[in-house]
Amino acid sequence: MNEIQRFNSLLRLNFSPSIIEDHISLEGVKEVSRKAYGKLGRAMHGINSHPTKSALLEETHASLYEFITKLKDDPLPGQYSKAAQENFDARHHAWCENRTTAFNNPPRSPDEEPVHPKFTLTYGHAQMWINMTLKYLTILGHPTAVFNYRYFHVPVDYTDAVHPTDALGVSRPLRGVPWSRLDRDQYWNYQQRLRSAGITLLDI
Per residue in 139-183, pLDDT (tens digit) is 999 999 999 999 999 888 765 444 555 656 677 666 667 888 899
Q: Average model confidence (pLDDT) for the chain? A: 85
Q: Is 176 left (phi over 0), alpha (psi -120 to 50) or beta?
A: left
Tell me what pLDDT residue 11 has: 82
pLDDT of the residue at 63: 98
Please tell me the predicted confidence (pLDDT) of residue 161: 46
Q: What is the pLDDT of residue 190?
A: 85
Helix, coil or strand: residue 33? helix
Q: 204, 154 in Cβ contact below 8 A? A: yes
Whether 112 shows a pLDDT value over 80: the answer reads no
pLDDT of residue 10 exceeding 70:
yes
Q: State yes or no: pLDDT of 2 exceeds 80.
A: no
CA angle 19, 24, 26 (to 5 degrees): 95
Q: Give the Cα separation of 158 and 189 in Å (integer).
A: 15
Q: Which residue has the higher pLDDT, 192 or 65?
A: 65
Helix axes 123-140, 26-40, angle to 10 degrees: 130
- For residues 80 and 171, the model is more confident at 80
| Alpha helix segments (H runs only) across 48-81 | 53-73
Between 38-52, 57-71, 119-133, the lowest mean confidence (pLDDT) is in 38-52
pLDDT beyond 60 at 125: yes
- What are the phi and psi torsion angles at 201 (to 5°)? -65, -25
Can you give the residue ranges of every domain in the chain? 17-154
**Chain mean position to CA 152:** 9
Residues 191 and 154 sit within 8 Å (Cβ to Cβ): yes
| Range with the poorest average pLDDT among 37-46, 56-65, 101-110, 133-142 | 101-110
d(CA 184, CA 36): 20
Q: Are 180 and 125 in contact (CB under 8 A)?
A: yes
> pLDDT class for 204, splitting at 50, 70, 90?
low
Distance CA(186)–CA(188), nearest Å, equals: 6
- Mean pLDDT score, 56-67: 97
pLDDT at 162: 47
181 CB neighbour count, 10 Å cutoff: 14
More confident residue, 141 or 116: 141
Q: What are phi and psi of 122, to 5 degrees?
A: -90, 170
The pTM of the full predicted model, rounded to 2 decimals, is 0.87
Give residue 178's pLDDT: 81
111 pLDDT exceeds 80?
A: no
Neighbours of 74 (CB within 10 A): 9
